[in-house]
A and B are shown apart, each in its own frame.
Chain A
Amino acid sequence: MKDSEKDFDLLIKNSLSDMEIPPPEHLKKGVFGKLSRYALVHKIKRYGIYILLFVLISAVGIFAYQALHEPTATLPENPDLHAGLNKEIPGNDLTKNQNNSIVNHRETKAGIINNGNNTNTDNTNKTTVTGNTKSNYLEKYPEKENKSYTNEIKSNSGNTADKDNINAKDKTHVKSGMVKNISAEAPTDNNDHNKEFTNNIQETTFKTKEQTDLNIIEKSNSPISENKRVVNSIPKMILLKNSVGSDNSLSIISAASPVKKKYNPLIWSAGFNIGQAIHQNPLIQLQKAQDENNYSFNTSLDFPSAIAGLDFRAEKKHFFFDFGVQYSHFSENIKSDDLLINPQSQQFYNFAGQTMNIDTGGGYYHYFWICDSIIRIIDSVWTWKIDSSFTDNYDTINTTVYDTLNNPEWKNSYTFIELPFSVGWQYNFGKINVGLKTGPILSMLIGTKGFIPAYMNDQTTQNAVDTEFRNFRIGLSWQVSAVVSYFISERILIECQPYSRFTITGIKSSSGYTLKNNSLGLMAGIRYYF
């Protein structure tokens, strides 16, 4: 470029760059009107940690509530009952689980008509057994007559010897879910089993080909004593049409009401883990200096983060929720190019008659001058484009003396107490669990050591880190981990968690530095199931 062009450009630049033209009044209103719309977004961003915590706690609350209140529709475990229920029945398309939640009632016509006491070859047995169990239960605990006794069934389930000797009184106490018309009929003799089934047939209203069935229906229409009727004891009956009227005629009684809600409890465990970052970014991002000398700060991590922590886990099926507390310690080396640290009080120095080395590309600052092994900076002298050369100086100039010059290096460390929360999913392969978990980590700074450059240029003050980053400041990170664990005994497993962690909200210093922990690492530990 020619000098004429250079000069012309420079003069135009100088005269244009400081121009000021007042904008119209309405513009200000427009700007602040628009800003007000973003104020809410800013507030959300600012209080993001709290919002996130609220959402997390709500999620955990919902998770815990559901875990504690979700019913599982299963009958109390009764080996005999299950054996009968799970028999394959022609025409019954219901699954095994569905069979567990219903009472099958199947009987032969012969069993109904001719031999009321001998209907124990099929699923009717279960009804009878249940009734019998109920009978035994009431005999034993008459005061609990109207209460649910299903839990008791379990313990009495083995007793089938008296199944045909059901007392009518007992039957009147059988609740819904049992063969329902037992309560309606209220027979008084010991040979009432036929009546029980008769009532079933009546309620299900299936039509048989045999006249005998009709007789039974008529019989079942006999008057019912009001005082023996049990109110609210009639469950819904379901017919399997394909089987109706055949030898294997089948009716199913929905057993929604007698099924006791069974809660699937959370499985709790506690774990102890230690970890180490394998790869970690610098904790403080020291930006490259903006001046013409391009001084830079480099951080290197000679001992990346070490973590040790306790956590508690609540598991349900494949899902789990972790929360805990952990101790984290990070340290890093800070190196810099030609940093002038800690300016001392300014001194007048008489340069008259001396030669000095002006090392600069031009500008207002940064004139290095080394004299008697003392580093001095000449204060704010303006020159234009003087290359490195020796120049004579004839004036007394204000100078500043600094501590250090070339490549200073020091070590900083930061200690945190952290609260990790995570939700995860895992799958069990026998002794091995494999899963993924993710969640936030709240980090509270509890201790620092070292120094930090106060300014992003080559002349700086070393501020103690604890004046920059105050204790008990809180930051937020997010962590994603894979979880692989192996059961070494019934209650104890060892686990390994490769993790990736990144900062959402770093801890900010008064000089504008931000403490961030972005790392890839590995945690290993042991877990005990209560």
Chain B
Amino acid sequence: MEIAELIDGCKKWHKKAQNELYDKYAGRLFAVCLRYISNRNDAEDVLQESLVKIYKNIDSFSYTEDKAFYYWMNRIVVNTALNHIRKNLKNKFDTDINQVENEFSGPDNAAFSQYDEIIEYIGSQKLFQIVQELPDGYRTVFNLYVVENYSHKEISEQLDISVNTSKTQLLRARKMLSSKISKIIDKNIFKEVV
């Protein structure tokens, strides 16, 4: 079934179309949930709530292209996840950018000259796991800024934090990510050498 037909069927509450939509997108949307919420049970709750919202509000979506539909669903999932985070993550954000050295050097290893080689080396699954392991505040800001392309101002409004806090979280997230990536590479290379 084409996406446009799928949307049309869901608008008419056809069970078959709803099932197909679920089968087609639930995996990707669950990954989005898990990027924001590390606890699997909470992520499942958020996904369930998001999917119900998607089915209920699909009438308001007018189809233009396939990508737009996924972005629309993604936005619903992210917003639902943010609601969950707002409820549960209060005061989990560090506040002052001055406390963080304003430097980012990225994962550094003599074995790789480019980041894409590093990412390719460790693989998407492992990278996903590393992002999941970031502290809640870091992970949320990192996801919003890097993956969803929010600005710091938008993040500060969404999470009810200051712009500086958002910047701080992002810098720390980057640093932590790069150091974890570096560690994994070092460990693996060491293993390979041994």
Contact = CB atoms under 8 A, between A and B. Distances in A.
Interface string A1-35: 01011011101110111111111100110111011
Interface stretch (B24-32, B83-91, B158-166, B182-190): B24-32
Given A31-B48, A38-B55, 5 more contacts: A12-B131, A21-B30, A42-B13, A290-B64, A456-B62
A457 interface: yes
A19 to B, nearest CB: 4
A40 to B, nearest CB: 11
A5 B105 CA distance: 8
Given A21-B30, A32-B18, A290-B68, A15 B48 contact: no
The secondary-structure label for the interface of chain B is: helix
Interface residues of B, number: 40
B154 interface: no
A91 interface: no
A512 interface: yes
A287 B62 contact: yes
Contacts, number: 102
A161 interface: no
A4 B51 contact: no
Interface of A: 2, 4-5, 7-9, 11-13, 15-24, 27-28, 30-32, 34-35, 38-39, 42, 287, 290, 455-457, 511-513
Nearest to A510: B8
B26 A28 contact: yes
Given A13-B147, A15-B124, A31 B51 contact: yes
Contacts of B48: 27, 30-31, 34
Nearest to A22: B27
B174 interface: yes
B136 to A, nearest CB: 17
A504 to B, nearest CB: 14
Nearest to B143: A16
A100 to B, nearest CB: 59
B62 A512 contact: yes
A77 to B, nearest CB: 61
Contacts of A455: 64
Interface string B104-121: 111100000001100100
A441 B13 CA distance: 27
Given A11-B116, A19-B31, A27 B62 contact: no
Given A2-B104, A16-B147, A28-B26, A34 B52 contact: yes
B177 interface: yes
B56 A11 contact: no
Interface string B23-62: 0001110110011000000001001100110011000001
A20 B178 CA distance: 23
Contacts of B47: 23, 27
Contacts of B124: 15-16, 18-19
Contacts of A457: 64
Given A12-B131, A13-B147, A31 B44 contact: no
Interface in B101-158: 104-107, 115-116, 119, 124-125, 127-128, 131, 145-147
B131 A4 contact: no
A455 B64 CA distance: 6
A9 B13 contact: no
Per CB-CB distance, the 5 closest pairs between chain A and chain B, nearest first, are A512-B62, A20-B27, A19-B31, A23-B30, A15-B124
Contacts of A512: 62-63
Given A8-B115, A16-B124, A17-B147, A31 B64 contact: no
Contacts of B22: 28, 31
Contacts of A5: 104, 106, 174
Contacts of A21: 27, 30-31, 34
26 contacts: A4-B106, A7-B106, A8-B104, A8-B106, A11-B115, A12-B177, A15-B119, A16-B35, A16-B127, A16-B128, A19-B35, A19-B124, A19-B125, A20-B28, A23-B27, A27-B48, A31-B22, A32-B19, A34-B52, A35-B55, A35-B56, A42-B13, A290-B68, A456-B62, A512-B62, A513-B62
